[in-house]
Amino acid sequence: MRRQRNVKIVATLGPASDTHDMIRALHEAGADVFRLNMSHGTHEEIRAKHQIIREIEKELDSPIAILADLQGPKLRVGAFANGEETLEEGAAFRLDLDEAEGDSSRVNLPHPEIFAALKTGAHLLVNDGKIRLKVNRCDAESADCTVVTGGVISNRKGVNVPDVVLPLAALSEKDRDDLEFACSLGVDWLALSFVQRPRDVIEARELAAGRAAIMSKIEKPSAVENFDEILDVSDGIMVARGDLGVELPVQAVPPIQKRLTRKCRAAAKPVIVATQMLESMIESPMPTRAEVSDVATAIYEGSDAIMLSAESAAGSYPIEAVRTMDKVATEVEADTNYHGIIAASRDGRQSGVADAIVAAAREIAETTDIKAICCFTQSGTTALLTARERPGVPIVALTSQRDTARRLALSWGCTCFMVGELSRFKMAVVNAARVARAAGFATDKDQIVVMAGVPFNVPGTTNILRVAPCDERLIYSTDPG
């Protein structure tokens, strides 16, 4: 399914979007990737959604990426005798391992790993940062705190610890079970929550064993600090602004978002900007102007994808939310300023033949009357390098690998098509011309750029480029091979 935009849309599935008709409608409205939130729903419910997506993919002959988002370790306070308490600013409050119900002076925090890492002066944030506590004294079983920001605290609210790296694995036992289940289903991407350091990603990669690409969610200060190393071992990145905005000052998030987006593009790895993009559309058929500007900013920055969470999973207007994103993206990408901004943020560094080939393809396409860049790719690397260039013409990714086509559905500008395995470059050119014509990218009077690696079917060998006509008779007459 050809889109009239390059940025991709990720839609989270949930109670508002769990039927065949709704999921198909979301895809037709603009959703390129479907997110399965492993925090909610049983394995059987997840399996049913996965099966529906694959049925729709077959019906529409359109590769669809499926992203399974692992829950990660959830840190929560215990229960209160009265259900909730109001904490006053300046008051003393204790967190401890005592399982007794809490009151206005203390509550259970059933996570000894937090007490093991806490230091005097550290802060704890409860209920998405609405309550802030400062640690005055701590040991292996408790922490005496002062309430810095007061408010209502109630049963099992989440806890964030922004000031320390916790001795927690990014994968809980539930995550390990969910990871194996998701890989057995055949999901394309695994999103890893609460990454703190590279070894968190390496552990998930070893468990996935090549069955799914690994996307690291950046939502902790330690992940921002260790970002370059995390990016090196990740296949993609999600800028998860929800928890990031809790653990860091909110004004720090926009520059971090911009910086991480540029680094991902330079590394030719897809990046998703996520959380609260069209939050008001959970209940309203129209977004706020600020939300539209937020979505537009992520597109102007060159992100590969923008994501809907509760808007499509539990909201009242899931299709309208996808359509809104689609319209905003189409409008932004039609802006002449967009192309200038994207070009200005291009990283011109080249480190090999493949980098030079894709850079040349983009320059040729933008300086001559080329209708599309067609790249043959087995692992997806050639298409990712081409997407990094952000060319002004469509990218047509051709592959014999179904999993590659699906994973590339997340990457900027890539429209993926399945082709048979090839052994000769001339047949690659012929196949590219046929696909470009059939999909409406070009006519038989137009020209395309074709890239491939010879020998074929060997990952990482992009080494040949040709400007070719879309008329097969001309291809055969000009290439005796």
Write the DSSP string, 368-424: TTEEEEEEE-SSSHHHHHHHHH--SS-EEEEES-HHHHHHHTTSTTEEEEE----S-
Question: What confidence score (pLDDT) does residue 347 get?
Answer: 81
Q: Check 8, 258, 269, 275 and give the catalytic one.
A: 275
- Return mean pLDDT, the chain: 94
Average confidence (pLDDT) over 292-306: 97
Topology alike, domains 8-72+169-337 and 84-160: no
Residue 231 has phi, psi (to 5 degrees) of: -60, -40
Q: Is the predicted pLDDT of residue 481 greater than 60, yes or no? A: no
Question: What confidence score (pLDDT) does residue 422 get?
Answer: 81
Superfamily holding 8-72+169-337: Phosphoenolpyruvate-binding domains (3.20.20.60)
Q: Are 53 and 66 in contact (CB under 8 A)?
A: yes
CB atoms near residue 233 (< 10 Å): 17
Q: Check 5, 217, 406, 437 and give the catalytic one.
A: 217
CB atoms near residue 445 (< 10 Å): 9
d(CA 260, CA 234): 13
Q: What is the pTM of this model?
A: 0.93
Residues whose CB is less than 8 angstroms from the CB of residue 159 and which lie 6 or more positions away in sequence, other chains included? 75, 76, 77, 109, 111, 114, 124, 125, 126
Closest CA to 62 of 442, 439, 393, 440: 439
pLDDT in tens, 319-344: 999 999 999 999 999 999 999 999 99
Superfamily holding 353-478: Pyruvate kinase, C-terminal domain (3.40.1380.20)
Question: What confidence score (pLDDT) does residue 454 get?
Answer: 79
pLDDT in tens, 375-392: 999 999 999 999 999 999
Please indicate whether residue 76 is annotated as part of the active site.
yes
Question: What confidence score (pLDDT) does residue 421 get?
Answer: 86
Domain chopping of the chain, boundaries: 8-72+169-337, 84-160, 353-478
d(CA 113, CA 450): 54
Please indicate whether residue 289 is annotated as part of the active site.
no
Q: Are 413 and 390 in contact (CB under 8 A)?
A: yes
d(CA 421, CA 411): 22
d(CA 258, CA 301): 6
Q: Is the predicted pLDDT of residue 289 greater than 80, yes or no? A: yes
Please indicate whether residue 275 is annotated as part of the active site.
yes
pLDDT in tens, 265-283: 999 999 999 999 999 999 9
Q: Check 3, 54, 76, 176 and give the catalytic one.
A: 76
pLDDT in tens, 157-169: 999 998 888 888 8
Q: Are 203 and 228 in contact (CB under 8 A)?
A: no
Question: What confidence score (pLDDT) does residue 267 get?
Answer: 95
- Which amino acid belongs to residue 3? R
CB atoms near residue 389 (< 10 Å): 26
d(CA 17, CA 24): 10
pLDDT in tens, 220-239: 999 999 999 999 999 999 99
d(CA 198, CA 211): 19
Question: What confidence score (pLDDT) does residue 479 get?
Answer: 65
Q: Is the predicted pLDDT of residue 23 greater than 90, yes or no? A: yes
Question: What confidence score (pLDDT) does residue 163 get?
Answer: 84
Please indicate whether residue 381 is annotated as part of the active site.
no
CATH topology of domain 84-160: M1 Pyruvate Kinase; Domain 3 (2.40.33)
Question: What confidence score (pLDDT) does residue 268 get?
Answer: 95
Q: Check 5, 8, 12, 35 and give the catalytic one.
A: 35
Q: At what angle do helices 336-344 and 318-334 cross, to 10 degrees?
A: 80
CB atoms near residue 56 (< 10 Å): 20
pLDDT in tens, 457-477: 777 678 899 999 998 888 877
Q: Concatenate the DSSP letters of all residues of 413-447 into one string.
A: TEEEEE----S-HHHHHHHHHHHHHHTTS--TT-E
d(CA 129, CA 230): 26
